[in-house]
Amino acid sequence: MFDFEKLDVYHKAKSFNKDVSIFLNTANSFDPISKNQLRRASLSIMLNIAEGSGRFTNPDRRRFYVIARGSTFECVALFDFLKDQAYLTDDSYAIFYKKADELSRMLFAMVKRLSIQD
């Protein structure tokens, strides 16, 4: 088993990515640039968690978790844009927002913990 497979935050990121993929596959057609960016940003969260877990130093791990958190913020901004464009309901936005907020908080705690250990 790889280290990232033991992390709750990885499993939550994987579930978030799955939810985003389902949304993108079932949503009304919207511009392909936003669609591609959301797909890439949500995938980036879980991939950076996985890659960071394989690094040997705390600063190197922390850097990947910071990138994962940034991708989480990117997803929220994209959901906000899609909500304003009426491609996403307020209820769906709230669900994605809550999941992204949880991911962000978990990643922040990981970054903070690695910063203290330096």
Cα-Cα-Cα-Cα dihedral of 97, 99, 100, 103, to 10°? 160
Q: With contact defined as beta carbons under 8 Å apart, do 45 and 13 qualify? A: yes
pLDDT digits (tens, 9 = 90+) for 90-113: 999 999 999 999 999 999 999 999
* Domain harbouring 66, CATH code: 1.20.1440.60
**Domain boundaries, position 26:** 3-116
Confidence of residue 118 (pLDDT cuts 50, 70, 90): low
Between 8-26 and 32-53, two packed helices, what is the crossing angle to 10 degrees?
160
- Cβ neighbours of residue 31 under 8 Å, at least 6 residues apart? none
Is residue 96 within 8 A of residue 19, CB to CB? The reply is yes
Residue pLDDT, tens place only, 14-35:
999 999 999 999 987 889 999 9
If you average pLDDT over every residue of the chain, what do you get? 96
Over residues 66-70, mean pLDDT: 98
Domain count, the chain: 1
pTM here?
A: 0.95
